[in-house]
Amino acid sequence: MTTTADEQHAILEQVRKALHSEPRVRPTAGPIRLAWSEGALVMEGEVDSLAGKKLALEAAARVPGVAGIVDRLRVRPATRMGDGAIRDAVRDALLGEIVLADCTLRERVKGRLETVREPPDPHGEIVISVEDGVVTLDGEVAGLGQKRMAGVLAWWVPGSRDVVNGLGVNPPDADSDDTITDAVRQVLEKDPLLAAESITVTTHRAVVTLDGFVPSEEQRHIAEDDAWAVFGVDGVINRLEVRP
């Protein structure tokens, strides 16, 4: 159903209120910009964390009248890096991950597709490209575990502002709460910046709950961002306590 200009204006005001009511949505370069494009809500700007980005999108999606969202939100990088440096870091991270050892790796460099690795018996292909700090992963892999790990490793590069995980999975891999739980737990244990031994993970309808405790508020936020970085996670409930 087509909305009038007045109705669209009213919806935008409700979205702004929804964003202001979520304290974890913290823009870093001025307010999040909102507009309409072909009936979809366009959200553009920069926030301070991956959790903030996801929560902003969730808050907007709950507003009546928002039927679709064009996501142009970016995350403030931990370190400002050029696209070439980000691409190199993503490439090196994927090359070093044993779960992806049987995947062909290629990267787009100045419009050219260059082969980084081609195993003798490849099972899948990942193509890395970076533009304005946004990492895009294209190609096809053999399972959801590979798709998820590739996406998380791209998010972990300190210059990444967003990750578009366009990897297909062939043959199709059935997902479940249990597999999401396993993936999140694996990511938390793999993160070198996190002490994850006292964190428990449960998942219900793709919403992940983190329980337990960590030694600092910073690690509490790191754990939540790690969970959000896992493909297929629709929500994160962070119940971690800080115990120095």
Integer Cα distance of 217 and 124 in angstroms? 39
Q: Is the pTM of this model over 0.85?
A: yes
Name the band, by pLDDT with cuts 50, 70 and 90, for residue 221. very high
User: Token pair of 95, please?
Assistant: 């090359």
Q: How many CB atoms lie under 10 A from the CB of residue 64?
A: 7
Q: Return d(Cα 109, Cα 78) in angstroms, integer.
A: 24
Look at residues 156, 157, 161, 119 and name the one whose alpha carbon lies nearest to residue 141.
119
- What is the overall mean pLDDT for the chain? 96
Residues of each domain in the chain carrying CATH 3.30.70.1350 = 5-75
3-class secondary structure, 193:
coil
CATH T-level fold of 5-75: Alpha-Beta Plaits (3.30.70)
**pLDDT, tens only, 11-65:** 999 999 999 999 999 999 899 999 999 999 999 999 999 999 999 999 999 999 9
Q: How many residues does the chain have?
A: 244
**Which CATH number is 177-242 given?**
3.30.1340.30
Distance CA 138, CA 165 (A): 7
Is the separation of the CB atoms in 187 and 226 below 8 Å? yes
Tens digits of residue pLDDT in 178-216: 999 999 999 999 999 999 999 999 999 999 999 999 999
